[in-house]
A and B are shown apart, each in its own frame.
Chain A
Amino acid sequence: MVNMSAAAPPLTPEDAARSRDRGRVHRARLGGRRWHLLWLLAGPGILAMLGENDGPSMVSYAATGATYGVGFFLPFIVVTFAMAAVCQELCMRVGAVTHRGYGQLVLERYGPVWGWFAAGDLLLTNLVTLIAEFVVIRIGLAYFGLGAPVAAAAGAGLVICTLSGGRYWRWERIVLGLAVFNGLFLVAAVMTHPHWASAGRALVTLTPFPGGSRTTLLLLVASTIGATVTPWMVFFQQSASADKGLTTADLRYGRLDTVIGAALAAVFGCGAFLVGAVLQARGGAGLLGLAGAGFPDALARVSGHAVATVFALGLVEAGVVAVLTISASTAYAVGECVGVAHSLNSPPRRAALFYGANITVALIAAGVILIPGAPLLAIALNANVLATVLLPVTLVFIIMLANDRQLMGRWVSSRATNWVAIVIVAFVALCGAAYGIDSFLQATHLISGA
């Protein structure tokens, strides 16, 4: 703690750390070094997007490719990331203008009921998603003959190691360094020699449209949306933008960070889809029996060990980066709603609950994958669907916050942004409801699958 006069509020270690980071930003801006400025200000957007290119998402993309082949779902991935970019820009802007996280703002602005509902949604979806992340790390490591205990220990150990520094900047750079390896999915796709002309045609025409079971189609649509826009991303990017110290002067670079993240994530997600599409001709539906290391093994039989190795490593990376970012978003939400220190710039002794929540949620998820016989792919796909169902509530609040003139001043959303955001919320709610209701009616035998 920095010594202060009696009248002034106390300066905290978070202030000191953030000030150092902001000092570098000021110097880069004054020197007109735009690339350096982008390097300094990039992070929350790319991490949210590549963090969402997580294990379940990549399995979901690959499963969709294996089920339907190259067609409608390839451009659909791109469309969903465009949707994600719109939603995430709102979070970045609200975080930069208010310097507060999503959980804190919802709780303070709309009352504790809505704040705790939002935090509850996040805790539920994050826990399920984190379990799915560890499941996918396990699938990736199983290809190399490593078991669930190694996956659990590696994931949980990384969370603890990356948190030990007590600096947002260091944590962000470590996770960004790991997230670069999300590109392995693109490498794997190139190695499978996909039919680029078909991929290009599908991207332009959104065809062929998939047929087959309606429930499977709705599951994969909802799952693909849940693989690109989720509640944790909203919490994470707004809190990380505030924690990083973004201000209104940085909005242009914050937007660039978000768009770059969305573009990279879309390209890498399409890579996973194209890898899965290779399996379509070889009975892709058989993938649903992949509880264990089925996906990389199936790839090894069709495309060789090199492709399978790259894909398996990609799954490990996707799971690891998501474990780090999703557990961080959980910690931000808990810290903001309880009202205690909630910054990665805080020393652990000053923010015990924040770091405790971060590590505990990862440890719980790691523990679940040690349970033998868990339905791995079902957990991964349903984690995404649950995120899709709960997402509209999260998005409505971020739209409200971004339009709150008392909070945002002249940085409120434009009319065009609002219309796009409202269409996205309606679309997400419709897709989530369609799958939820259709699958429920089938499960209760009120209708038959078609």
Chain B
Amino acid sequence: MTPEAEYPALEPGQFDADTAQPVPRAQLSRRARAGLWLLRIFAVIVSAMVVYTFVSQLHG
């Protein structure tokens, strides 16, 4: 019996075995990759600032 026949309430792509299959890798353009890295660096720098401020306030 197929999974769909066993559990007709589930959609074909909804079974555990289906969702365990990886989706294909996206091809990002060079600009998109650069943008993501810039955003990541921004987040890391500002996070470090917030953590530094928090720690210095504790000691201040």
**Which residues of A are interface residues toward B (Cβ below 8 A)?**
2, 4-5, 8-12, 14-16, 18-20, 22-23, 25-26, 98-100, 104-105, 108-111, 114, 117, 121, 242, 245, 247, 339, 343, 375, 378, 382, 385-386, 389-390, 392-393, 396, 404, 406-407, 429, 432-433, 435-437, 439-440, 442-443
Contact = CB atoms under 8 A, between A and B. Distances in A.
B11 A247 contact: yes
11 contacts: A5-B1, A9-B17, A11-B16, A22-B9, A100-B23, A110-B25, A389-B43, A390-B43, A406-B24, A432-B46, A435-B50
Interface residues of B, number: 39
Name the prevailing secondary structure of the B interface residues. Answer: helix
Given A378-B58, A392-B39, A436 B15 contact: no
A114 B57 CA distance: 32
Contact of A15 (B3, B13, B39): B3
Given A15-B3, A109-B25, 4 more contacts: A9-B18, A110-B28, A117-B40, A393-B36
Task: List 5 A-B pairs, minimum CB-CB distance, nearest first.
Answer: A9-B17, A19-B7, A440-B49, A22-B9, A436-B46
Given A11-B6, A18-B10, A440 B25 contact: no
A108 B23 contact: yes
A437 B6 contact: no
A8 B16 contact: no
B19 A99 contact: yes
A386 B1 CA distance: 51
B18 A404 contact: no
Contact of B50 (A104, A386, A393): A386
A103 B10 CA distance: 23
Nearest to A345: B16
Contacts of A433: 42, 46
Contacts of A406: 24, 26
Interface in B30-60: 36, 39-40, 42-43, 46-47, 49-54, 56-58, 60
Contact of B54 (A22, A382, A396): A382
Contacts of B13: 99
B54 A378 contact: yes
Given A98-B23, A109-B25, A396-B39, A2 B6 contact: yes
B35 to A, nearest CB: 8
A242 B39 contact: no
Given A4-B1, A99-B13, A389-B43, A378 B25 contact: no
A361 B6 CA distance: 37
Q: Give the most central of B25, B46, B51: most A CB within 10 Å.
A: B46
A247 B9 CA distance: 11
Contacts of B19: 99-100, 104, 242
